[in-house]
Amino acid sequence: MTQHLPRPARLRLPDLLRIGLIGPRTRRLRSALSALGIALGIAAVVAITGISASSQAHLLDRLDRLGSNLISVSPGENYGGEKVPLPKEAVSMLGNIAPVEQVSATAETKANVYRSDFVPPNQTNSLRVLSARLDLLKTLRGELSSGRWLDKGTQRLPVVVLGDTAARRLGVTAPGTKVWLSGRSLPGGWYGVIGILRANELVPEIDDSVLVGAPQAVAELGGDRTPSTVYVRTHPDRVRDVQDVAAATANPARPSVVAVSRPSDLLKARSETDTALTGLVLSLAGVALLVGGVGIANTMVVGVMERRGEVGLCRALGARRGQITLQFLIEAVLLGLFGGLAGAALGVVAVYGYAGVKDWPATVPMAWVAAGPAVAVLVGTVAGLYPALRAARMSPTGALRSA
Amino acid sequence: MSRESGRHGDGRRTPVLQLDKVVKEYDGDPPLRILHGIDLTVHQGELVAVVGPSGSGKSTLLSLVGTLDRPTSGRVHLDGHDLTDLNDRQIAALRASSIGFVFQQFFLLPGLTTVDNVATGLLYTGESARRRHERAVRALREVGLAHRLDHRPDQLSGGEKQRVAIARALVGRPALLLADEPTGALDSASGQGVVDLLLHLNAQGTTVMVITHDRDLAASFPRQIGVQDGRVAFDLHGDTRTAAVPRSAQGGPG
């Protein structure tokens, strides 16, 4: 007659999932919107890390093509802060170092460049007019976006080749245009544009330069005979060795006033700076994630109040408080998971889209794609904890009567 | 605690539910006493209506009988177990297996089909999903809704919804089917259908307790317990339909 006490039963995982899905299934729009917050956070993280990784991949790609074996040697400063020019022989001396494969140089002139002779002399657009040796293009592995490079004939003529930035600032889009070159002690004259260079990440100082043949510069523009920068291409495995002796070779008398640098190092450092910026944006994405979590918590709190009847029913059917907690928690976790998955997908699409537009190699950060949904689940769990406990604390009779 | 049920010596029927000087108070200053020492016994196979005006304490009685709440003092026995001795976990398990609830507002889960809704009646008993489904189909057949298995709640009429809710309460073969104003949200025709169904289920052996404020509804049941101001006002065994109900040990006008 006295029955055995029934054994408390556990909810199986499939049942738990089915119960957890009741809320999202019957309140689709609201659930979708609250998951959207999380999705945007995760998408931002994936997109930003992906885009920055793609940009870096693109940079390294370019670096590979431009070669990391370039060394630039330029005048350093003495103790008084004045530039000490390199000796005239620096170019040929550096060219004589055994592992050096190519060498070239630019030199300064006294001219500035203007779109026409009506432009006031102080509006220089921050552009420099440099004299260039004919082998400069090859040494820098520069590319022309249009027109021609200087040759033996044109280096003695009033013609210029524009760097990428210089062309844009002067508003020159095609060769054949004329620009006005003049300086304080120079008469000034029209120079024809014969070529425009493509941007060169390795030597950005060439981008905002206007290049004139060395003989023409010396004859007409007050060009220096001493080089302002010597570019040295070395054997790829001997870059360090050349770097070590470059200063003493360029200016044996005063090696301490020679500045030697490896532009690819600068480039790498710059890409690292980008990473620091990425960190900032990532923390913003973290805030977005937090807001998404608050959104889920908000939806759940309201949902729990609305679903008092359901809570009461489950208690009447024999659910324990812990099981009610679990039911609501699993709902929050599922919302987080859906948001995370959708966000990761969205982020990947954004990376491919952006990289496609920029013509970069798309690099998807797999670690973040995997971690995104995991983080989202974590956020969902934390967000769902309070509403779930609140649902469990509800008195079943109150829940049934007020619903 | 000895099993007092042994006292009821007629041997044919055992008490399913026994309330012994049950008092319920709610916190307040002064504490609000809703139930003032209720004594009540319901035997297996009985069909009882608890009737009383709103505010009489019958909802509180429902939650105590339904083990959703504990009395401030006194004892509640359900299906041979003294609830005082059990912890919340054990009471939840007992509730899952021994009590079937039917509510005025049905409380069907909106996203689920009829058969899934009925199957949730077994969700907390530890049965497998397949077995739950089978038993849900059987319970729906029993309440005459075999043709509505895959409908959703919003596709059903009020009367049908309440039949689904009754099937859900019934599916675990509870010792006690507890119905709170089961016809309250229905028109008179479907309400009568639900009453007929409860009578039919009782005739087949289910112990049924209906809580209502509707005296006409209560009159259609063989035993009526009146609750007024937190006390049992009357306990009528005016039965015509089912077999004679034994006089219970506790008093009351018969």
Q: Tens of pLDDT along B151-174?
A: 999 999 999 999 999 999 999 999
C-beta atoms of B59 and A397 within 8 A: yes
Closest CA to A85 of A257, A206, A260, A261: A257
Smallest Cβ–Cβ distance between A318 and the set B3, B112, B125 belongs to: B125
Please give the structure tokens belonging to residue B129: 């999903």
What is the predicted pLDDT for the residue at A271? Answer: 67
Closest chain A C-alpha to B24 CA, distance in angstroms: 14
Taking only the tens place, the pLDDT of each residue in B182-235 is 998 899 999 999 999 999 999 999 999 999 998 888 998 999 999 999 999 999
State the CATH number of the domain containing residue B63. 3.40.50.300
Amino acid, single-letter form, for residue A126: S
First to last CA, chain B: 29
What is the predicted pLDDT for the residue at A53? Answer: 85
Closest chain A C-alpha to B238 CA, distance in angstroms: 28
Smallest Cβ–Cβ distance between A318 and the set B59, B96, B112 belongs to: B96
Q: Which of B34, B102, B109, B133 to mutate to test the interface with A (most CBs of A within 10 A)?
A: B109
Closest chain B C-alpha to A22 CA, distance in angstroms: 6
In this structure, what DSSP letter does residue B83 have? G
Tell me which residue range forms the domain holding B205: 13-236
Residue B246 lies in a domain: no
What is the predicted pLDDT for the residue at A347? Answer: 94
Under 8 Å CB pairs connecting chains A and B tally to 113
Residue B7 lies in a domain: no
Whether the CB-CB separation of A35 and A279 falls below 8 Å is answered with: no
Residue B138 lies in a domain: yes
Residue B48 lies in a domain: yes
Cβ-Cβ contacts under 8 Å, A21 against chain B: 111
pTM to 2 decimals?
A: 0.72
Q: Which of A25, A331, A400 to mutate to test the interface with B (most CBs of B within 10 A)?
A: A400
Report percent pLDDT > 90 for chain A.
Answer: 47
Contact of A171 with chain B, judged by CB distance below 8 Å, is answered with no
C-beta atoms of B107 and A19 within 8 A: no
Taking only the tens place, the pLDDT of each residue in A64-123 is 778 888 999 999 888 888 888 899 889 998 999 889 999 999 999 999 999 999 999 899
C-alpha dist (Å) from residue A4 to A7, A113, B80, B84, B151: 9, 101, 9, 16, 37
Helix (H) or strand (E) holding B74: strand B73-78
Residues 322-351 of A with CB under 8 A from B: 323
Contact of A315 with chain B, judged by CB distance below 8 Å, is answered with yes
Return the C-alpha torsion angle A57, A61, A62, A66, nearest 10: 140
Give the C-alpha separation, B249 to B13, whole Å. 12
Contact of A9 with chain B, judged by CB distance below 8 Å, is answered with yes
Residue B251 lies in a domain: no
Cβ-Cβ contacts under 8 Å, B79 against chain A: 3
Residue B212 lies in a domain: yes
Taking only the tens place, the pLDDT of each residue in A255-290 is 888 989 888 887 777 666 666 777 787 788 888 888
Cis peptide before B30 (omega within 30 of 0): yes
Q: Is the pLDDT of residue A314 over 60?
A: yes
C-beta atoms of B124 and A395 within 8 A: no
* Helix orientation angle between A263-306 and A321-358, rounded to the nearest 10 degrees: 150
C-beta atoms of B88 and A321 within 8 A: yes
Residue B4 lies in a domain: no
Amino acid, single-letter form, for residue A396: P
Smallest Cβ–Cβ distance between A323 and the set B68, B99, B124 belongs to: B124
C-beta atoms of A317 and B81 within 8 A: no
What is the predicted pLDDT for the residue at A185? Answer: 85
C-beta atoms of B124 and A14 within 8 A: no
Q: Structurally, how many domains does chain B consist of?
A: 1
Q: Which of B64, B124, B135, B166 to mutate to test the interface with A (most CBs of A within 10 A)?
A: B124
Give the C-alpha separation, B124 to A287, whole Å. 40
Q: Which of A7, A11, A18, A317 to mutate to test the interface with B (most CBs of B within 10 A)?
A: A317
Taking only the tens place, the pLDDT of each residue in A352-384 is 999 999 888 888 989 889 998 999 999 999 999
Cβ-Cβ contacts under 8 Å, A309 against chain B: 105, 107
Contact of A402 with chain B, judged by CB distance below 8 Å, is answered with no
C-beta atoms of A10 and B98 within 8 A: no
In this structure, what DSSP letter does residue B126 have? T
What is the predicted pLDDT for the residue at A137? Answer: 93
C-beta atoms of A5 and B112 within 8 A: no
